[in-house]
Structure 1
Amino acid sequence: MVTIEVITRDGNHTEVEAAADVSVMEAIRDAGVDELLAMCGGCCSCATCHVYVEAGGENLPLPGPDEDDLLDSSDYRTDRSRLACQLAVRNMRTSCQIRIAPED
């Protein structure tokens, strides 16, 4: 299990326990954090699960071309931007910190 510290847009912190076989988006959504819309359900087609990996993402693969294109459409993209649906928990350390990006 990986502990994901989720920071919401208003600065609240919530800890989520995630199994290795899910995406960060699924873990956050299943924990009841409503700010992560994830409208496409994890198909990498909408960018409504835009997050910032604040800590613990050192082992994550780089964004693929589709994810990169979707992130380019955000006014809030930074060097820490990722789509939570593309982040496999199995690639994370035992803990990480994820901040939900502002809504476009």
Structure 2
Amino acid sequence: MAKLTFVTHDGQRYDIDAPVGTTAMENAIRNDVPGIEAECGGACACATCHVYVDEAWTAKTGEPEAMEEDMLDFAFEMQPNSRLSCQIKIRDDLDGLVLRVPERQA
């Protein structure tokens, strides 16, 4: 298990115990995090699970691969630390990861 925190645009925090091997998106859906719709079910075919990775965690989560980068073009208010939460696999070294939900997804 790893601790995962989603922060909504209004500052509401969702602290989640996330099983290793799952995705950040799966944990957001299971815990009813507002703004994470995941319309494609995690197939990297939409941008409705877009998040901002807290800057302290960008190196550990890594860069988006080509397919994710293409989908991020459809995300609202993309930033350099934008990722699709369906593409962030929970690992032990991501314990404490903080992800922010963009305001336009609220």
Deviation of 1:34 after TM superposition, in Å, equals: 3.3
5+ residue gaps, structure 2, are none
User: Aligned letter for 2:69?
Assistant: D
Q: Distance in 2 between matches of 1:32 and 1:50?
A: 15
Using the TM superposition, name which of 49-58 and 77-86 deviates more: 49-58
1:23-68 CA-to-partner distances (Å, cap 9, x unmatched) read 0000111112132100000000010000001143432232111110
SS in 2 for 1:26: helix
Q: Secondary structure at the match of 1:52?
A: strand
Write out the 4+ residue segments of structure 1 that deviate beyond 6 Å after TM superposition. none
Q: 1:29/1:75 Cα in 2 relative to 1: closer, same or farther (>3 Å)?
A: closer
Change (3 A) 1:31 1:75: closer
> Larger % of strand: which?
1
The TM-score with structure 1 as length reference comes to 0.89
Does 1:47 find its partner at 2:82?
no
Aligned alpha-carbon RMSD (Å):
1.7
Q: Show the counterpart of 2:7.
A: 7
User: How big is the shift at 1:72?
Assistant: 1.9
In structure 1, the partner of 2:75 is 74
**What is the rounded CA distance, in whole Å, between the counterparts of 2:57 and 2:75 in structure 1?**
23
Whether the 8 Å contact between 2:8 and 2:103 is mirrored in structure 1 is: no
Counterpart in the other structure of 2:38:
38
Name whichever structure is richer in helix by fraction. Answer: 2
Name the counterpart of 1:63: 64
Q: Secondary structure at the match of 2:103?
A: coil
Deviation at 1:91, TM superposition (A): 6.7
TM-score for the superposition, normalised by structure 2 = 0.87
The corresponding residue for 2:26 is: 26
CA distance in 2, matches of 1:57, 1:92: 12
